[in-house]
């Protein structure tokens, strides 16, 4: 079972850069997308369906903004659209599919980089999301949270931790939240298998950052601790260049 999370920064743009060809070659069983920036009727879906995917969309109310989707070869038993909070559901932040023995969520955490108001929004969201997942775990005990968390957990996850110490996405309070969240019962699947530095999932478009590998690791597949015996492998597909992010891959037994 291969689960992939990918912030495509506009699915139509990513498709124009070869996203479909990459999906055809990699063959993920479940593909969690973030920042789709489109409604399904705006996207050619024939190819996805020809690849054997069931597809589920939760776009933002605002056109061309945010939104999540899940493509799955196995038809889920249930699809949960949103998190039940209109403030966040209007921005298309959460979509979950439930299978027999686990659930997969595509989640897109807000960015606070545009200013103080959005940073405050992000911190309120983080508090909400922590409690939301804590409550969800009472009924869905085998969770895989796949998405763009917009937080680098540790200094190893960012190219220059000192100069970014006061930058949204690497603020002390954000990193503390990430640590608390993981300690609440999750495994950072990539770090379970790989402790090497210089592994990133997002690069700024500025100053040739990607070519220099001046990146941030902000995309995660977080796995419930009780699924640790099913972990087979994890990787970052930095060669996939359909977005300013790249795919993060999780393989399960």
Catalytic site positions:
148
The residues near 7 (Cβ < 8 Å, ≥ 6 apart) are 33, 34, 35, 108, 147, 148, 202, 219, 243, 245
d(CA 252, CA 22): 20
Buried b (16+ CB within 10 A) or exposed e, 164-198: beebbbbbeebbebbeebbeebbbbbbbeeeeeee
End-to-end CA distance of the chain: 6
Cβ–Cβ under 8 Å, residues 109 and 7: no
Q: CA distances (Å), 204 to each of 84, 151, 178, 190, 213, in order?
A: 32, 14, 22, 21, 10
- Alpha-carbon span 66 to 87, nearest angstrom: 13
Beta bridge pairs of residue 72: 30, 54
The whole-angstrom separation of Cα 139 and Cα 31 is: 23
What is the distance between the alpha carbons of residues 230 and 22, in angstroms, rounded to a whole number?
A: 25
């Amino acid at each position: 079972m291969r689960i992939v999370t990918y912030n495509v920064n506009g699915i139509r743009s990513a498709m124009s850069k070869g996203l479909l060809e990459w999906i055809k070659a990699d063959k993920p069983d479940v593909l969690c997308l973030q920042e789709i920036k489109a409604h399904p009727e705006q996207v050619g879906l024939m190819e996805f369906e020809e690849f054997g995917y069931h597809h589920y969309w939760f776009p933002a109310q605002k056109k061309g903004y945010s939104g999540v989707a899940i493509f799955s070869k196995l038809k889920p038993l249930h699809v949960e659209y949103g998190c039940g909070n209109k403030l966040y559901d209007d921005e298309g932040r959460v979509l979950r599919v439930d299978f027999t023995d686990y659930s997969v969520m595509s989640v897109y955490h807000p960015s606070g980089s545009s200013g103080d108001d959005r940073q405050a929004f992000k911190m309120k969201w983080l508090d909400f999301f922590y409690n939301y997942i804590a409550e969800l775990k009472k009924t869905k005990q085998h969770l895989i949270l796949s998405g763009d968390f917009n937080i680098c957990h540790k200094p190893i996850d960012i190219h220059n931790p000192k100069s970014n110490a006061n930058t949204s996405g690497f603020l002390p309070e954000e990193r503390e939240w990430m640590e608390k969240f993981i300690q609440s019962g999750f495994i950072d699947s990539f770090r379970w298998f790989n402790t090497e530095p210089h592994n990133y999932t997002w690069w700024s478009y500025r100053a040739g950052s990607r070519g220099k590998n001046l990146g941030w690791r902000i995309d995660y597949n977080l796995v419930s601790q009780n699924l640790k015996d099913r972990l087979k492998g994890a990787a970052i597909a930095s060669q996939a260049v359909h977005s300013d992010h790249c795919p993060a891959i999780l393989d399960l037994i």
